[in-house]
Each structure stands twice: as C-alpha cells, then as structure tokens.
Amino acid sequence: MVGIQKSYLTFSHSMIMHMKMNRCVSKLHLALGLLLIGWTAHTEESDYYQIDTFDTEKLPMEVGAMTLLSDGNLLVGTRRGDVYVLDQPYGKPEEATFRPWARGLAQPLG
C-alpha cells in the first residue's frame, strides 16, 4: 500500500496575531501617507479656474439655472423665481450689468 503523506502548515496563535498586526500597520502606513499627501497637495480652486465676483448686494442671487444666449449674454435663474440677463459675462466684472428678464416663477432650475 502506498502511503499518501499530507503536509499541513501549522501556525501558532502568536504567528497569526503577528500577521494581523502587520496588516493593520500596513493600513495605518497607507492612511498616514494619503493624509500627508492631502496636506502637502493643498490647492485652491482659483489655481484651476478663473473666479470672477459680481456685485450683487441688491440682488439675492441663489442661482439655480444658467444658460448662454445667442448674443453672448448669460441668463441666470434664481431660487426665488427671478430671471436676470447678465450683459457681458466674459468682460470685466465691474462692467457687467444685471437686468431683470422675468419675475414670479416657481424656482426656475436648469
């Protein structure tokens, strides 16, 4: 009769705990590395996009819709139901003017 020899890997409790600990430490190193990258790679939105601010103190602008018109002006719909035309949206912000186009709509969204 030919005997079949089976080999088993046996791990002691301390070996298993050591392997689990190594996995936890590896995950901790990964988390700390990602956190460090996040801190050092802090960028501002203005690094990627030109941000223009328009004076809207008299107009409560809670914009929910925008579309460009064929003449190059920008149509802006607000949550409060007003729609304005922004003349020269690509010009200097201080030269841009808002004029009402519609009022009394129910939260125009686009």
- Our CA angle for 68, 74, 79, nearest 5°, is 105
pLDDT digits 0-9 by tens, 60-96 = 678 889 999 999 999 999 888 889 998 988 888 778 8
- Which tokens go with 25? 């430490």
Q: Indicate whether this model's pTM tops 0.85.
A: no
Residue range 53-64: mean pLDDT, rounded: 73
Residue 98 phi, psi (nearest 5): -100, 135
Q: Would the pLDDT of 104 be above 60? A: yes
Residue range 15-19: mean pLDDT, rounded: 64
Distance CA 99, CA 110 (A): 19
Give the three-class secondary structure for 39.
Answer: helix
Q: Residue 100 pairs with which residues in a beta bridge?
A: 84
- Given this model, what pLDDT does residue 85 score? 93
59: CB partners within 8 A, 6+ apart: 78, 82, 84, 98
